[in-house]
Amino acid sequence: MRVTKGAQIVAGTALLALAVAACGGGASNNGGTATGGGSAETPVRMELGEPQELLVPSNTTESEGAETLAAIFEPLVTYDENKNAVEAAAESITSDDQKVWTIKLKSNYTWHNGEPLIAQNYVDAWNYAANQENAQGAGYFFGRIDGFADLNPGEGKPVTTKTMKGLEAVDDTTLKVTLAAPFSQFKVMLGYTAFYPLPKAAFGPDGKVTQAYGEQPIGQGLFKMDKPYKKGTDQTIDMTVYDKYPGQKPKNWTKLQFKLYTDSDVAFNDLQANNLDIHDSLSPAAIATAKSTLGERYQDQPDAGVGYIGVPLKYNPELNKVEIRKAISMAIDRKTIAETVFSGTRAPADDFINPAIAGYRQGACKACTYNPAEAKKLYDEAGGPKTLELGYNADGGHKEWMEAVANNLRQNLGIEATAKPFEKFASILDELDAKTYKGLFRMGWAIDYPSAENYLSPIFSTGAIKTGSNYGGYSNEKFDELIAKGDQAATVEEGLKFYQQADDILNEELPYIPVYFYRNNSGYSTSVKNVKINLLNQIEWADVEKV
Amino acid sequence: MGRYIIRRLLQSIPVLLGATFLIFSIVFALPGDPIAALAGEKRADPNLVAILREQYHLNDPLLLQYWHYISGVLFRADFGVTFADVPVSQIMAGKFQVTINLAVTALIIEALVGVGLGLWAALRRGTAIDTMILASTLLLISVPTLVSGFILQFILGVKLKLWTGLDIFPIAGISNGLRSYLLPGFVLAGVSIAYLTRLTRTSLAETLRSDFIRTATAKGLSRRRVVGRHALRNALIPLITFLGADLGNLMGGAVITERIFNLPGVGLQLFDSVYLREQPMVVGIVTVLVLIYILANLAVDVMYAVLDPRIRYE
């Protein structure tokens, strides 16, 4: 074999370093460096960012903590390939009036400490989560349950009860939930992290979830944590398959290791060197390389998020004419932005509902088609403003595409359009609230539960102006009515029809302008196969196989 | 000497208090609500925000907040908790361990390689070797850490392993013991190595030309003894100053290296905490960094006296 000069130098350096390492040795251990992992003892290694909080379901609203907890807990429902909710820890979830729900639990689930899973575990966990005194980040998810208001009287007011009246454990396997108002999508919500139960062992003598539990949660799911996760020190979260888990287990492996990274590109290097098995958040920079080096091991699939240009309807009357918003929308070259600016990590948006979720209709947003000539004509006829500002938060990689949109508007509408950076997204919201900013703004939405409803009412209903994420202040009576009808519908499918009608209104009126759908770009190493990512962007662990 | 050290340590108390207060006010003055920032891009539940603000004393005026913090540190050795309710001291202990390992590795590499190369160049002044060393230091100085870090990581971490199957340089993380710090340590030391080489070369070359060296050589002392005992010892003083000050720089400047090699150290933590406006975390880290600067400087001053008996402290 011919050795090049360069290789000789590299090898020389390497040998030198090896010698140094050998001298300094002793303290080193073998934390997951084994190569070519064939044995069941070598863990499957998965990339993760540092969870924001300790691992408590009701206080976890971000994806990294949720991913960890999803491995430890079994939700009441999971989602099948047709995007429908199917029972997991639950035997059945039924309701006659969409208001009173009866959840029957399967009887063969046990906690990792051996105790059986009972309905009371859900009651305890949910009451704890909803109580404002416990300041849980996901507490608002329980807002639809009757009695939530009693646990949330507001700042400074004492909470007089510890339980929601809508929550009752009828017997060990039956949970009765009464909502404040009918909601046809309630079953779909139940797959979310906030709805996991908690064992008795989670609570300390003061009734609060203990710090020890947050470091090593006891769940009732596929994996059991090996040791406490010390935030700030540990760089891995290690787990082992729980023997008594009644569901499907991985075929030929038992150990799972989450490796924490701060930079996605570093994780990608580790993946290339086979120090990592699964990486589900490849950066745009890594994708070009990933396609060529990983081949079939590179995956690209729809992700439920949507990116919009927000319109401050409430604060800027100049944008109230729907023709102006349509013209702006038609002037945006979504395809080029998705392919060039985002290197294909986004898809052009053509509806308010993402294709990953049931209810999406291709091309539902007519004004989302690029048509500069028509746009110019509409804009001039409607007398649109001569200058437009496009606000974005400079901390999240939005500069490029917002500049591209501004360019489109300048060229196609013949107006003065500028992209304006803000420090954080919250700064844009603050200025919108103070009515000091009247420009368009960037906005993104990642769903909480995979229902079409989640793209509509939290962002566009009148009620969401005060309490939700309706930052533009859009309000439409007809829309609110249709949402309410969808909420009261007898089945998930029937509800969907009303939601789609509400979606039609949005596509016609464009309170926001949808620009792109997110994609999920992942890759895996040569030591695993059959890696599937579900609707919640989590890996289906039982399907993963070692090669 | 003992009195001198004690006086220096006492002097550092007002420095520390001043620094903490300054940092505290700067973080306090940053725009945006820290609790709202926790919710990411969704609007945080107003009721929850109010409760958390109360819990973390965020509604109090600056001075009161500072008092809450500093009284905890002074009387209870309690550095407070982060927004995730984890004690700041627990996180700091873990992160400083990593950064100290990294900085010390870098310092050792820097001292060995930098002084070594400088010595070699000084003794071979004007030859091809001297020119080559000078040219390579220029290269080291001009390539940013970000570039050299990624390139070395890719070549030595990814490609070398794929080609040879040898896992010598871990790409990321600290799970491989001391080996984890080799490559990042070298990258972090890079620019300093260059400066140190040039400093050693100049300093030694100058000393070698002075009268007492000529005298020593004339007395018939061996070349080894002249350079080793007489010249080097005198040339070391500026080098020690540089190394001492550099330890502080390495500790604070590790942000980029820690990011490239995924080391969970202080630099990254500081970055995140400033972003989230976690006052206790930011102030805690900065306080320890200031303390390290002070101690490193003190150590440098003490070293002077050891190296040059003419220097005395009162």
Contact between B32 and A423 under an 8 Å Cβ cutoff? The reply is yes
Question: What is the Cα–Cα distance from A228 to A230, expressed in whole angstroms?
Answer: 6
Q: Tell me the percentage of chain A whose pLDDT exceeds 90.
A: 69
CB contact under 8 A, B173 and A21: no
Taking contacts as CB-CB distances below 8 angstroms, the residues of chain A near B51 are 132-133, 135, 155
pLDDT band at residue A40, thresholds of 50, 70 and 90?
A: low
- Check residue B267 and give its pLDDT: 87
Q: Which of B55, B172, B177 sits opposite A28 (nearest CB)?
A: B177
Write the pLDDT tens digit of every residue in B113-132. 999 999 999 988 889 999 99
- Quick one: closest CA in A to B164, which residue? A11
pLDDT band at residue B314, thresholds of 50, 70 and 90?
A: low
> Where is pLDDT greater, at B296 or A482?
A482
Taking contacts as CB-CB distances below 8 angstroms, the residues of chain A near B94 are 230, 232-233
> Where is pLDDT greater, at A22 or B13?
B13
Chain A residues 87-106 within an 8 A CB cutoff of chain B = none
Alpha helices per DSSP H over B143-254:
145-152, 160-164, 182-208, 211-218, 223-225, 232-252
- Check residue A29 and give its pLDDT: 36
Amino acid (one-letter) located at A16 = L
Q: Which of A21, A232, A275 sits opposite B179 (nearest CB)?
A: A21
CB contact under 8 A, A426 and B170: no
Q: Is residue A503 predicted with pLDDT exceeding 70?
A: yes
Question: What is the Cα–Cα distance from A485 to A496, expressed in whole angstroms?
Answer: 10
A29-33, A156-160, A197-201, B80-84: segment of lowest average pLDDT: A29-33
Residue B280 to chain A, least CA–CA distance (Å)? 15
What average pLDDT is seen over chain A? 89
Query: Where do the domains of chain A lie?
Result: 45-277+525-546, 302-520
pLDDT band at residue A429, thresholds of 50, 70 and 90?
A: confident
Residue B211 to chain A, least CA–CA distance (Å)? 39
Mean pLDDT, range A30-55, rounded to an integer: 71
Contact between A138 and A194 under an 8 Å Cβ cutoff? The reply is yes
CB contact under 8 A, B177 and A469: no
Q: Is residue A13 predicted with pLDDT exceeding 50?
A: no
- Residue A29 touches partner B, C-beta closer than 8 Å: yes
Write the pLDDT tens digit of every residue in A308-331. 999 999 888 899 999 999 999 999
Question: What is the Cα–Cα distance from A85 to A451, expressed in whole angstroms?
Answer: 10
* Beta-strand pair A255-260/A44-48: parallel
Amino acid (one-letter) located at B62 = L
Mean pLDDT, range B274-299, rounded to an integer: 86
- Check residue A351 and give its pLDDT: 96
- Quick one: closest CA in A to B92, which residue? A232
Q: Tell me the percentage of chain B whose pLDDT exceeds 70.
A: 98
Helix (H, G, I), strand (E, B) or coil at A419: strand
Highest mean pLDDT among A104-118, B40-54, B253-267: A104-118
Residue B161 to chain A, least CA–CA distance (Å)? 7
**Which tokens hold the place of A422?**
């803000």
Taking contacts as CB-CB distances below 8 angstroms, the residues of chain B near A61 are 39-40, 42
> Where is pLDDT greater, at A22 or B278?
B278
- Quick one: closest CA in B to A215, which residue? B86
Phi and psi torsions of A278, nearest 5°: -130, 130
Which residue's entry shows tokens 């820690």? B258
Highest mean pLDDT among A271-275, A539-543, B244-248, B285-289: A539-543
> Where is pLDDT greater, at A174 or A5?
A174
**Which tokens hold the place of B245?**
């000050």
Distance of CA A99 to the CA centre of its chain: 27
Best to test chain A binding among B30, B33, B38, B42 (most A CBs inside 10 Å): B42
Question: How far is residue A305 from each of residues A69, A179, A446, A519, measured CA to CA in Å?
Answer: 21, 28, 4, 8
Query: Where do the domains of chain B lie?
Result: 1-78, 95-276
> In terms of Cα–Cα distance, which of A48, A81, A405, A494 is closest to B264?
A48
Residue A302 to chain B, least CA–CA distance (Å)? 21
Chain A residues 197-216 within an 8 A CB cutoff of chain B = 211, 214
- Quick one: closest CA in A to B37, which residue? A426
Mean pLDDT, range B39-52, rounded to an integer: 78
- Check residue A495 and give its pLDDT: 93
pLDDT band at residue A36, thresholds of 50, 70 and 90?
A: very low
CB contact under 8 A, B32 and A424: yes
- Check residue A481 and give its pLDDT: 96
* Beta-strand pair A174-178/A236-241: unpaired
Whether complex ipTM tops 0.95: no
- Check residue A426 and give its pLDDT: 80
As a whole number of angstroms, the longest Cα–Cα distance in chain B is 85
Best to test chain A binding among B43, B104, B167 (most A CBs inside 10 Å): B43
**Which tokens hold the place of A544?**
């993963």
- Check residue B295 and give its pLDDT: 87
Write the pLDDT tens digit of every residue in B136-166. 999 888 888 888 888 988 888 888 888 887 7
Taking contacts as CB-CB distances below 8 angstroms, the residues of chain B near A31 are 173, 175-176
- Check residue A10 and give its pLDDT: 41
Write the pLDDT tens digit of every residue in A373-417. 999 999 999 999 999 999 999 877 899 999 999 999 999 999 999
**Cα dihedral A457, A493, A489, A481 sign:** positive
CATH number listed for the domain at residues B95-276: 1.10.3720.10
- Check residue A41 and give its pLDDT: 73
Q: Which of A14, A270, A274 sits opposite B168 (nearest CB)?
A: A14
pLDDT band at residue A8, thresholds of 50, 70 and 90?
A: very low
Q: What is the pTM of this model?
A: 0.85
- Check residue A7 and give its pLDDT: 40
**Which tokens hold the place of B271?**
């970055």
Q: Is residue A34 predicted with pLDDT exceeding 70?
A: no
Question: What is the Cα–Cα distance from A155 to A133, expressed in whole angstroms?
Answer: 10
pLDDT band at residue A17, thresholds of 50, 70 and 90?
A: very low
Q: Is residue A18 predicted with pLDDT exceeding 50?
A: no
- Quick one: closest CA in A to B105, which residue? A24
Helix (H, G, I), strand (E, B) or coil at A165: coil
Phi and psi torsions of A240, nearest 5°: -130, 150
Task: Give the fold, CATH level 3, of A302-520.
Answer: Dipeptide-binding Protein; domain 3 (3.10.105)
- Residue B94 touches partner A, C-beta closer than 8 Å: yes
Contact between B168 and B152 under an 8 Å Cβ cutoff? The reply is no
- Check residue A27 and give its pLDDT: 35
| Residues in CB range of B32: below 8 A, 6 or more apart | A423, A424, A426, A427, A430, B277
Q: Which of B37, B155, B168 sits opposite A424 (nearest CB)?
A: B37
pLDDT band at residue A527, thresholds of 50, 70 and 90?
A: very high
Taking contacts as CB-CB distances below 8 angstroms, the residues of chain B near A135 are 48, 51-52, 55
- Residue A547: how many CB atoms within 10 A of its CB? 12
Write the pLDDT tens digit of every residue in A441-465. 999 998 888 899 999 999 999 998 8
Q: Which of A24, A155, A275 sits opposite B47 (nearest CB)?
A: A155
- Check residue A3 and give its pLDDT: 38
**Which tokens hold the place of B194?**
């260059």
**Which tokens hold the place of B143?**
């390539």
Residue B259 to chain A, least CA–CA distance (Å)? 7
- Quick one: closest CA in A to B281, which residue? A232
As a whole number of angstroms, the longest Cα–Cα distance in chain A is 80
- Quick one: closest CA in B to A272, which residue? B158
Write the pLDDT tens digit of every residue in A210-234. 999 999 999 999 999 999 999 878 8
Residue A469 to chain B, least CA–CA distance (Å)? 6
Phi and psi torsions of B142, nearest 5°: -85, -15
Best to test chain B binding among A140, A233, A271, A443 (most B CBs inside 10 Å): A233
Question: What is the Cα–Cα distance from A301 to B229, expressed in whole angstroms?
Answer: 68
Residue B260 to chain A, least CA–CA distance (Å)? 6
- Check residue B2 and give its pLDDT: 80
DSSP A489-538: -SSHHHHHHHHHHHHHHHHHH-SEEEEEEEEEEEEE-TTEE---B-TTS-
- Quick one: closest CA in B to A138, which residue? B45
Taking contacts as CB-CB distances below 8 angstroms, the residues of chain A near B176 are 28-31, 33
Q: Which of A25, A140, A270 sits opposite B45 (nearest CB)?
A: A140
Contact between A191 and A79 under an 8 Å Cβ cutoff? The reply is yes
Chain A residues 226-245 within an 8 A CB cutoff of chain B = 230-233, 235-236
- Check residue A6 and give its pLDDT: 39
Inter-chain contacts counted by CB atoms under 8 A, chains A and B = 180
CATH architecture assignment, domain A45-277+525-546:
3-Layer(aba) Sandwich (3.40)
> Where is pLDDT greater, at A461 or A424?
A461
- Check residue A394 and give its pLDDT: 86
- Measure the CA angle with vertex B41, ends B36 and B47; round to 5°: 40
Write the pLDDT tens digit of every residue in B178-210. 888 989 999 999 888 999 999 999 999 888 888
Taking contacts as CB-CB distances below 8 angstroms, the residues of chain B near A233 are 90-91, 93-95, 97, 264
Mean pLDDT, range B91-103, rounded to an integer: 90
- Measure the CA angle with vertex B229, ends B225 and B230; round to 5°: 100
**Cα dihedral A128, A129, A135, A140 sign:** negative
